[in-house]
């Protein structure tokens, strides 16, 4: 395969099933495991529900973090294969569980594998993609996550009609095993990251990989120039050993500025992403006083709308840029959370409940614009080559950490504090636009080496912001480099 064919294969045989697994398993148990939520055991049951759901996310955190050490050792292919295999084992334990303990262990193992996939696949995609396509290729991750959210709600609703309870939930949790098999059977037939191959002193293999990815001759000027750019960038960064502790010391790589990207994952979770994705059935059933059946239908419609809204993000990411997408998304989510806090404060008011449901749908439009894909892309873009996997792993682990917090506390918070819970998400969401405006340089249409140059030549984050606007973009539309290498 060459050029666009290999690009499509990467997307639909690896990225697509990886992030459907992410979304399906994150959202699935929230509406599937219907613990009793009334009576004397209400608070206890809400805590148990949160713990079972959150067990998946807490080990996904460790799955992401371990890629900091093994990501470059195993390589992108082997790390992705290992993550898919571990996820498959966890799914098998879930589907065959006859006790809550075994089910929880399966969730933990599954989370570890999905965490490895979430940390590695965006890095592999960003290192393989040409600059003018990198944004839309990697932002597809958010679209596939949203599809996973939507799919699990419709599947849960379908199996909800089955009266035999074991068949109902086992059938729902068996379906995602298919995605693990697709990843494992296809990953080794696709190109390895050319930047990883150069890092391992395998420039000949990297040249072949670049030629395949770009659909060019192995001796074409575009391939040779891009290879030279990668080699030069890695050579400059190899003059000193880069360690994670260097984040807090002065160095030419400006690691502290670059590690600001990990706050994106905090923003993604604490603006309400997990709250709306996992607990939509609970919100509809509680706020609108709907039956369980109608709440599941409405939740499935809301998450299907989120998936459709991802297409807007896909088409604007390489046009308006990362910064504009983040600011529009954050501001929109903040206003929606304000509206939900106000509307849910009127207990028993049917009109206010309908308005609350409406803003769930509006929220699901704004979230995918900036925080359902671009938050995976941006850390991989601004990280130095030798720490790209480490930065992406820590950033993704930070997401899983806050996802765990949200998944754990939400059932109890909704039961105990009600509308005030949404105020927290509203405040954090409204912080996003000014934060992005001040601290996040634009990376649209720039090669990873150009982004590296911006940080290396800047003395402060404000300098990096100015350089990202003023430095000429030296990439042609084909993704090659005009003339000499940038770095």
In the 3-class helix/strand/coil scheme, how is 216-272 assigned residue by residue?
A: CCCCCHHHHHHHHHHHHHHHHHCCCCCCHHHHHCCCCCCHHHHHHHHHHHHHHHHCC
In a domain, 389, yes or no: yes
Which pLDDT score, from 0 to 100, does residue 42 have? 55
In a domain, 342, yes or no: yes
Q: Which helix (H) or strand (E) holds 330?
A: helix 322-344
Q: Which helix (H) or strand (E) holds 134?
A: helix 131-160
Give pTM, 2 decimals: 0.77
Tokens of 122: 């965006």
22 vs 110: CA distance, rounded Å: 10
CB 382 within 8 A of CB 455: yes
Buried b / exposed e over 430-453, threshold 16 CB at 10 Å, is bebbebbeeebbebbbbbbbbbbb
Q: What is the dihedral of CA 358, 364, 370, 375, to 10 degrees?
A: 140
In a domain, 402, yes or no: yes
Secondary structure percentages of the chain, helix, strand, coil, to 5: 80, 0, 20
CB 131 within 8 A of CB 81: no
In a domain, 476, yes or no: no
- Decide: residue 143, CB within 10 A, 0-12 exposed, 13-18 middle, 19+ buried: buried
In a domain, 439, yes or no: yes
CB 242 within 8 A of CB 390: no
In a domain, 368, yes or no: yes
CA separation, residue 204 to residues 31, 73, 125, 137 (Å): 51, 19, 20, 26
CA separation, residue 217 to residues 2, 384, 447, 487 (Å): 10, 28, 20, 23
Distance of CA 8 to the CA centre of its chain: 19
In a domain, 484, yes or no: no
The residue among 436, 403, 483, 457 whose CA lies nearest residue 27 is: 403
In a domain, 152, yes or no: yes
CB 32 within 8 A of CB 56: no
Tokens of 206: 């990297």
CB 26 within 8 A of CB 59: no
CA separation, residue 263 to residues 269, 344, 392, 428, 451 (Å): 10, 29, 12, 11, 19
Q: Per DSSP, what are the bridge partners of residue 481?
A: 475
Tokens of 300: 């499935």
289 vs 97: CA distance, rounded Å: 32
Buried b / exposed e over 162-191, threshold 16 CB at 10 Å, is eeeeeebbebbbebbbebbebbbebbeebb
| Residue 96: strand, helix, or coil | coil
307 vs 144: CA distance, rounded Å: 8
The residue among 338, 343, 340 whose CA lies nearest residue 279 is: 340
CB 313 within 8 A of CB 369: yes
Which pLDDT score, from 0 to 100, does residue 361 have? 92
Q: Domain range spanning residue 339?
A: 3-470
Which pLDDT score, from 0 to 100, does residue 478 have? 38
232 vs 203: CA distance, rounded Å: 12
The residue among 341, 221, 334 whose CA lies nearest residue 287 is: 341
Q: What is the CATH number of the domain that holds 40?
A: 1.20.1250.20
Number of compact structural domains in the chain: 1
Buried b / exposed e over 2-24, threshold 16 CB at 10 Å, is eeeebbebbbebbbbbbbbbbbb
Which pLDDT score, from 0 to 100, does residue 315 have? 81
CA separation, residue 6 to residues 58, 73, 205, 209, 459 (Å): 34, 24, 16, 11, 39
409 vs 275: CA distance, rounded Å: 10
The segments of the chain whose pLDDT lies below 50 read 30-40, 475-487
The residue among 52, 21, 22 whose CA lies nearest residue 35 is: 52
**Helix ranges, 440-472 (H):** 448-456, 461-470
């Amino acid at each position: 395969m060459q050029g666009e064919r290999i690009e499509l294969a990467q997307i639909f045989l690896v990225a697509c099933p990886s992030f459907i697994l992410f979304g399906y398993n994150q959202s699935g148990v929230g509406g599937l495991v219907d613990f009793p939520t009334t009576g004397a055991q209400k608070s206890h049951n809400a805590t148990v529900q949160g713990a079972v759901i959150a067990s998946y996310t807490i080990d996904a955190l460790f799955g992401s973090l371990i890629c900091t050490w093994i990501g470059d050792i195993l390589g992108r292919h082997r790390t992705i294969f290992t993550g898919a295999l571990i996820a498959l084992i966890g799914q098998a334990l879930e589907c065959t569980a006859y006790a809550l303990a075994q089910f929880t262990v399966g969730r933990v193992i599954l989370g570890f594998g999905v965490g490895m996939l979430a940390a590695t696949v965006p890095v592999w995609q960003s290192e393989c993609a040409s600059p003018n396509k990198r944004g839309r290729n990697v932002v597809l991750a958010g679209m596939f996550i949203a599809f996973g959210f939507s799919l699990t709600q419709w599947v849960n609703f379908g199996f909800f009609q089955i009266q035999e309870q074991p068949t109902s939930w086992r059938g729902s949790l068996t379906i995602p095993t298919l995605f693990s098999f697709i990843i494992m059977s296809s990953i080794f037939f696709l190109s390895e990251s050319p930047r990883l191959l150069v890092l391992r002193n395998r420039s000949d293999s990297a040249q072949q990989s670049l030629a395949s990815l770009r659909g060019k001759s192995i001796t074409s000027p575009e391939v040779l120039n891009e290879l030279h750019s990668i080699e030069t960038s890695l050579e400059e960064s190899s003059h000193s050993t880069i360690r994670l502790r260097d984040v807090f010391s002065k160095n030419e790589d400006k690691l502290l500025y670059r590690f600001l990207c990990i706050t994106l994952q905090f923003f993604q979770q604490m603006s309400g992403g997990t709250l709306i994705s996992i607990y939509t059935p609970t919100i509809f059933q509680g706020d609108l006083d709907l039956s369980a059946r109608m709440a599941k239908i409405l939740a499935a419609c809301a998450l299907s709308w989120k998936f459709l809204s991802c297409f807007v993000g896909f088409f604007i990411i390489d046009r308006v840029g990362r910064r504009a997408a983040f600011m529009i998304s954050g501001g929109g989510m903040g206003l929606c959370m304000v509206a939900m806090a106000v509307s849910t404060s009127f207990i028993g008011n049917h009109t206010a409940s309908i308005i609350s449901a409406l803003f769930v749908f509006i929220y699901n439009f704004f979230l995918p614009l900036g925080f359902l894909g671009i938050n995976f892309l941006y850390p991989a873009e601004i990280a130095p080559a030798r720490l790209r996997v480490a930065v992406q792993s820590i950033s993704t682990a930070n997401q899983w950490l806050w996802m765990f917090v949200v998944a754990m506390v939400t059932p109890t918070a909704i039961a105990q504090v009600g509308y005030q819970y949404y105020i927290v998400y509203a405040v954090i969401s409204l912080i996003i636009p000014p934060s992005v405006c001040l601290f996040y340089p634009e990376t649209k249409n720039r090669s990873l080496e150009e982004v590296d140059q911006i940080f290396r030549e800047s003395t402060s984050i404000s300098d990096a912001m100015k350089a990202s606007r003023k430095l000429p973009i030296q990439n042609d539309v084909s993704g090659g480099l005009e003339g000499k290498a940038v770095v």
